[in-house]
């Protein structure tokens, strides 16, 4: 087993220190999503979403897979710090209305209508 270092924790803390990235992690707890779906729910530009996803992926919070024309992102915590963060995330934001609204909106999103093919 790899020895965890303070640098590992530092990366996880920095990657999670953004409201939009936390919102993304919460949505990905529910289902796999593509950039255009996340962009729609967060109401931010796709390049911004891509930067957030790149940071989350680089720090081992998420992974991705291709499905036809789409790249789906999903939770895949790669180290114990990320796993513990994800495990506790719902406890920390259990009554957050923005997160609840995001999840409702994400449930109703139809990628075929959003994404440019």
Domains and CATH numbers, the chain: 11-108 (1.10.10.10)
CA distance 23 to 19: 6
Residue bearing the bigger pLDDT, 10 or 22: 22
pTM of the model: 0.90
Backbone angles phi, psi at 55, to 5 degrees: -65, -45
Tens digits of residue pLDDT in 65-95: 998 888 999 999 888 888 889 989 888 888 8
- pLDDT of residue 64 exceeding 80, the answer is yes
**What whole-number percentage of the chain has pLDDT above 90?**
58
The mean pLDDT value of the chain amounts to 90
Q: What is the pLDDT of residue 113?
A: 80
Write down the H helix ranges in 1-117.
Answer: 6-15, 19-30, 35-42, 46-58, 80-92, 97-108, 111-114
Q: What is the pLDDT of residue 6?
A: 84
Q: Which of helix, strand or coil describes residue 10?
A: helix
- pLDDT of residue 63 exceeding 80, the answer is yes
Model confidence at 116, pLDDT cuts 50, 70, 90, reads: low
Q: Which of helix, strand or coil describes residue 91?
A: helix
**What whole-number percentage of the chain has pLDDT above 70?**
95
Q: Which two tokens stand for residue 52?
A: 């957030």
State how beta strands 70-75 and 62-67 pair.
antiparallel
Mean pLDDT of 26-31: 93
């Amino acid at each position: 087993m790899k020895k965890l270092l303070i640098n590992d924790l530092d990366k996880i803390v920095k990657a999670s220190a953004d409201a939009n990235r936390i919102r993304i992690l919460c949505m990905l707890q529910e289902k796999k999503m593509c950039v255009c779906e996340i962009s729609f729910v967060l109401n931010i530009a796709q390049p911004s979403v891509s930067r957030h996803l790149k940071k989350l992926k680089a720090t081992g919070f998420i992974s991705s897979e291709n499905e036809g024309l789409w790249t789906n992102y999903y939770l895949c915590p790669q180290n114990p710090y990320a796993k513990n963060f994800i495990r506790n995330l719902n406890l920390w934001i259990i009554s957050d209305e923005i997160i609840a609204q995001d999840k409702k909106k994400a449930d109703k999103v139809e990628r075929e209508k959003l994404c440019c093919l």
